[in-house]
């Protein structure tokens, strides 16, 4: 256990820093994950002639919300005619920073994603940091132990950097280039240096201590007390590990999702967030008061060592993510003989031909090729599920699980160094291992997490063993020569054939029923039904980074805007990271409100990597892609529908990491709700509704191979905890030995000897899930139990569903991190969570397994 030492709250500083500035949900954090964008910076007047698509109402100004309202209240003053131009100043500076050639240093309503270039990064960030250094010195000189004189100016100060830093890191995730990478890499140490300088400020630290000890403490709101008591741990725990997820961080490296989920393809998680590191900034358990996780209580020499560790961890995390992306982009399999890709559906062939065209094969066609297979998710998944060529499946699988494990892109040494530095960091802070540090920010403890994983492992094991037996019997009956020796590149293929046989469902044949426009309409109708909101397309109001990106406005029942979000749906392997994630662009905030009344409105973005339109066909989605969109929208809803006015714990901010996936996983359940599904499942050409018998089969297929899917996540979570508790870098066992050992208890088919899946495990090495991957299962318990509240009142009882939905909105979605998640859950559900609903939904309630 950690040493006991007297510490003092430095909450807002650390929350603010990490929350608003550290790398960024990954909530799936998934989750995670992973994801911040928030800037508050003084600049010169915006110049329309220079940046015609960016509008002059700065996110960080007090006029931001009123500007948005004005834009929408005027029928003539639209995106092309902004109502006014505002010049902004920082909290302390008297003069704005001016650089008319740099969009990062201009006033704008929405981030100018369309005009920001790599050349703007170095001068822009350095100008901001220089100004912030001056502001910080002034704050330290004038700080008083009161909310208006400490927390509010501090939030404004850090908000300046986070919007711009989040903007450029978002572009790195969706519009990557060597030039942008190099620019970010060069200024990142300077940004981290400022973060550490702010996070370890003694005057601010002492002011927070004085607040808690002062008479005004009793008059603070629960959210304000939670900021002071809890959030101060945030910075050190998640400050500079970058992703994107990830449900999640400003400087973060976007997670490459699919990599972590494939040892046996059919056990790939259906919708894993690619969350930015710190996608979700979570508060820490109020009981943990023994250690100052940001290093502020360390002696000078130890603090210097701590800072060096943080800098190096940031560099290594970024390099890890870049290696995964580069290794994914590097692999290409050119196929000229159509026999080699027999079984691939037309949609996949179209994508492969389209990829070939983009790679210089101008005459490539769907019918005659050539075709290029990549390791990008849509291409990889299609081969593993549908290619009859077993040799091709093996080649692609082996390439996938050995990504970033050789040559200049080898992540092995980086992993060892990350684990070594994390352990050193834990020791500096008085902990036995890094898992204990990580759990300081979670609902769970190491012991509780391991206990949950073991319970779920036992409930899943026998079912997973039976899953494999079913595949062997089925493939044998189909005359498969490999039936008695099924391995990783066979399970996905034969599982899909068994699914088609057992439920007569072919996912590819269902694509025409799930066109993206119809799916989004159905999703928005569901949100209106259960949460009372309207979502309208607002294209043209905000500049975007790609022509495929859509922009939406969220309105309340009175028609007033309450939030905005971007949606980037399609895969772009040459420039965009894999996976799916939600991130914050700007958060709700009272401190940054216009005229001290209405709070600043939240803005989010959702990013997916589904199959793009081919020819004149719209994007036709698999059912799994539908679930992914619902999942990410759940994250976005928690960010956008928050009613918490304290910006540091509004929306997805300040929520414990292992609770952050609750809304996202909750939304997935609606994909199986008959009225919802039938509302979106319309044939894109004929308008025909999905046949009733097909819906029934989809519902029955929900628990197909549930034991295998569950074990897959348990394996990842168990491996993560083992590496951060018992593994000693440099000892006899390698990271791959640990992987093999954990797999013996969690996988029916052990990994290949040469498997290097860990080299692509971005969630824990380039994201915010280190010693926290278990949180996916932890949150599944919460989300399944939450959805069971709707089942209890009757899913066909529209009045009761609306009432329950409103209660969910007013608690889970509205309260943000201003209240402990267990308290929020009990407020919604009336009791503490139970795993019964999760096991029932997965068809595992009656299944038992040997120890």
Active site residues: 632
CA 579, CA 30: separation in Å to the nearest integer? 10
CA 550, CA 211: separation in Å to the nearest integer? 44
Token representation of residue 450: 């391991």
Cβ atoms within 10 Å of 330's Cβ, excluding its own? 14
CA 39, CA 20: separation in Å to the nearest integer? 8
- Asked if 659 and 247 touch (Cβ cutoff 8 Å), the reply is no
Reading phi first (left if > 0) and then psi (alpha if -120 to 50, else beta), residue 369 is in left
- Asked if 801 and 530 touch (Cβ cutoff 8 Å), the reply is yes
- Asked if 275 and 243 touch (Cβ cutoff 8 Å), the reply is yes
Segment holding 118, helix H or strand E: helix 118-142
CA 192, CA 189: separation in Å to the nearest integer? 5
Least Cα distance to 12 among 279, 197, 238, 283 occurs for: 283
Token representation of residue 546: 């790609």
Q: Residue count of the chain, please give it.
A: 851
CA 307, CA 189: separation in Å to the nearest integer? 11
**Alpha carbon 128 to its chain's center:** 27
**Per-residue CA distances from 505 to 501, 622, 746 (Å):** 7, 12, 29
Classify residue 334 by burial, with Cβ atoms within 10 Å: 0-12, 13-18, 19+: middle
Least Cα distance to 839 among 706, 723, 725 occurs for: 706
Classify residue 362 by burial, with Cβ atoms within 10 Å: 0-12, 13-18, 19+: exposed
**Hunting for tokens 């996608």 — which residue is that?**
279
- Asked if 828 and 807 touch (Cβ cutoff 8 Å), the reply is yes
Token representation of residue 817: 């991190």
Segment holding 172, helix H or strand E: helix 152-174
- Asked if 108 and 59 touch (Cβ cutoff 8 Å), the reply is yes
Segment holding 551, helix H or strand E: strand 550-555
Give 746's Cβ-side CA count (13 Å radius).
29
Least Cα distance to 772 among 411, 454, 437 occurs for: 437
Least Cα distance to 60 among 132, 149, 142, 140 occurs for: 132
Cβ atoms within 10 Å of 575's Cβ, excluding its own? 17
Quickly list H helices, 230-299.
234-238
Which runs of E-coded beta strand occur in 571-660?
581-586, 603-610
Angle subtended at Cα 650 by Cα 647 and Cα 654, rounded to the nearest 5 degrees: 100
CA 464, CA 708: separation in Å to the nearest integer? 5
- Asked if 393 and 384 touch (Cβ cutoff 8 Å), the reply is yes
């Amino acid at each position: 256990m950690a040493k006991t030492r007297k510490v003092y709250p430095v909450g807002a500083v650390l929350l603010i820093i990490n929350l608003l500035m550290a790398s960024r949900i990954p909530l799936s954090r998934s989750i995670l994950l992973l994801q911040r964008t928030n800037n508050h910076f003084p600049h010169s007047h915006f110049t329309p002639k220079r940046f015609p698509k960016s509008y002059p109402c700065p996110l960080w100004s007090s006029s931001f919300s009123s500007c948005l309202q004005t834009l929408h209240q005027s029928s003539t003053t639209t995106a092309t005619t902004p109502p006014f131009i505002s010049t902004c100043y920082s909290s302390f500076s008297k003069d704005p920073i001016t650089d008319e050639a740099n969009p990062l240093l201009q006033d704008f309503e929405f981030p100018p994603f369309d005009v920001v270039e790599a050349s703007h990064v170095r001068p822009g960030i350095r100008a901001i940091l220089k100004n912030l250094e001056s502001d910080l010195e002034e704050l330290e000189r004038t700080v008083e132990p009161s909310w208006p004189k400490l927390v509010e100016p501090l939030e404004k100060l850090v908000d300046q950097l986070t919007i711009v830093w989040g903007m450029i890191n978002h572009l790195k995730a969706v519009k990557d280039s060597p030039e942008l990478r190099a620019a970010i890499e060069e200024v990142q140490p300077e940004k981290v240096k400022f973060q550490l300088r702010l996070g370890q400020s003694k005057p601010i630290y002492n002011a927070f201590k004085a607040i808690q000890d002062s008479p005004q403490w009793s008059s603070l709101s629960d959210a304000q007390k939670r900021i002071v008591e809890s959030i101060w741990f945030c910075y050190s725990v998640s400050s500079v590990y970058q992703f994107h997820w990830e449900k999640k961080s400003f400087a973060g490296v976007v997670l490459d999702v699919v990599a972590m989920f494939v040892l046996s393809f059919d056990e790939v998680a259906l919708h894993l967030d690619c969350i930015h590191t710190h996608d979700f900034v979570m508060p820490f358990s109020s009981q943990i008061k023994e250690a100052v996780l940001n290093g502020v209580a360390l002696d000078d020499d130890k603090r210097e060592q701590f800072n060096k560790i943080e800098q190096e961890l940031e560099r290594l995390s970024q390099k890890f993510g870049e290696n995964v992306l580069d290794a994914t982009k590097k692999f290409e399999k050119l196929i000229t003989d159509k026999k080699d890709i027999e079984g691939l559906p037309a949609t996949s062939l179209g994508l492969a031909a389209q990829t070939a065209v983009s790679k210089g094969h101008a005459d490539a066609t769907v019918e005659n090729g050539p075709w290029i297979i990549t390791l990008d998710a849509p291409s990889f998944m299609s081969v593993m599920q549908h290619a009859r060529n077993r040799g091709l499946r093996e080649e692609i699988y082996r390439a996938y699980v050995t990504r970033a494990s050789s040559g200049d892109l080898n992540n092995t040494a980086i992993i060892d160094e990350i684990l070594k530095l994390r352990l050193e960091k834990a020791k500096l802070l008085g902990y036995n291992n890094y898992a204990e540090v990580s759990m300081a920010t979670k609902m769970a403890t190491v012991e509780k997490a391991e206990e949950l994983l073991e319970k779920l492992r036992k409930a899943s094991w026998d079912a997973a063993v039976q899953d494999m037996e079913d595949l062997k019997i089925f493939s044998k009956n189909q005359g498969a020569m490999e039936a008695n020796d099924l391995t990783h590149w066979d399970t996905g293929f034969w599982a899909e054939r068994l699914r088609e046989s057992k439920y007569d469902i072919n996912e590819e044949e269902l694509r025409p029923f799930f066109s993206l426009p119809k799916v989004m309409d159905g999703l928005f109708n569901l949100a209106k039904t259960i949460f009372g909101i309207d979502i309208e397309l607002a294209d043209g109001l905000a500049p975007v980074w790609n022509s495929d990106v859509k922009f939406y406005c969220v309105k309340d029942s009175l028609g007033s805007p309450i939030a905005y979000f971007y949606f980037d749906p399609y895969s772009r392997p040459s420039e965009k990271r894999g996976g799916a994630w939600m991130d914050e662009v700007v958060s709700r905030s009272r401190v940054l409100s216009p005229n001290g009344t209405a709070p600043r409105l939240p803005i989010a973005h959702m990013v997916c990597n589904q199959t793009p339109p081919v020819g004149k066909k719209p994007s036709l989605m698999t059912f799994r892609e539908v679930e992914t969109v619902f999942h990410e929208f759940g994250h976005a809803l928690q960010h956008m529908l928050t009613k918490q006015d304290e910006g540091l714990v509004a929306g997805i901010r300040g929520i414990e990491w292992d609770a952050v996936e609750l809304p996202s996983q909750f939304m997935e359940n609606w994909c199986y709700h008959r009225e919802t599904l039938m509302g979106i499942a319309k044939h894109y050409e004929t308008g025909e509704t999905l046949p009733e018998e097909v819906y029934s089969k989809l519902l029955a297929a929900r628990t197909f191979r549930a034991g295998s899917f569950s074990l897959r996540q348990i394996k990842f979570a168990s491996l993560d905890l083992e590496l951060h508790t018992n593994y000693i870098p440099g000892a006899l066992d390698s990271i791959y030995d640990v992987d093999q050992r954990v797999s013996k208890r969690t996988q029916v088919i052990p990994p290949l000897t040469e498997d290097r899946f860990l080299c692509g495990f971005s969630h824990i090495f380039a994201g915010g899930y280190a010693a926290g991957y278990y949180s996916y299962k932890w949150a599944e318990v919460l989300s399944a139990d939450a959805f069971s509240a709707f089942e209890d009142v009757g899913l066909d009882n529209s009045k009761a569903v609306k009432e329950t939905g409103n209660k969910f909105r007013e608690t889970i979605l509205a309260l943000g991190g201003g209240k402990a998640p267990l308290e929020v859950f009990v407020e919604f559900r009336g009791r503490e969570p139970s795993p019964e609903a999760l096991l029932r939904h997965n068809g595992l309630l009656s299944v038992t397994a040997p120890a």
